[in-house]
């Protein structure tokens, strides 16, 4: 996913923050890594693997956190 697309999606979240919208970002293997919502003008980034939530006030730092998590993920799908 491009940075421009991620930025557009985060801007949309902020625009509709009174709604309950959550975005899910997957790694290159299509395994969900983080979910993001907007609440009180802040981005809540929830890391699915560690179960930790981080809060960011601006788009740029939220984007950096999302991209860092996705790019550093080595989780692969289970193959039977």
The reported pLDDT for the residue numbered 75 is 61
Average pLDDT over residues 30-43: 94
Q: Is the pLDDT of residue 54 over 90?
A: yes
pTM score, two decimals?
Answer: 0.85
Give the pLDDT mean for 27-50: 94
Across the range 19-37, mean pLDDT stands at 93
Buried b (16+ CB within 10 A) or exposed e, 49-80: eeeeebebeebeebbebbeebbeebeeeeeee
What pLDDT shows up at residue 11? 94
How far, in Å, CA of 10 to CA of 58, rounded?
10
- Residue 72: pLDDT band with limits 50, 70, 90: confident
């Amino acid at each position: 996913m491009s940075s421009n697309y991620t930025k557009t999606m985060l801007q949309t979240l902020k625009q509709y923050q009174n709604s309950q919208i959550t975005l899910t970002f997957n790694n290159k293997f299509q395994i969900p890594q983080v979910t993001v919502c907007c609440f009180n003008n802040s981005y809540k980034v929830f890391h699915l693997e560690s179960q930790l939530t981080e809060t960011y006030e601006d788009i740029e730092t939220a984007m950096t956190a999302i991209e860092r998590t996705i790019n550093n993920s080595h989780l692969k799908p289970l193959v039977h």
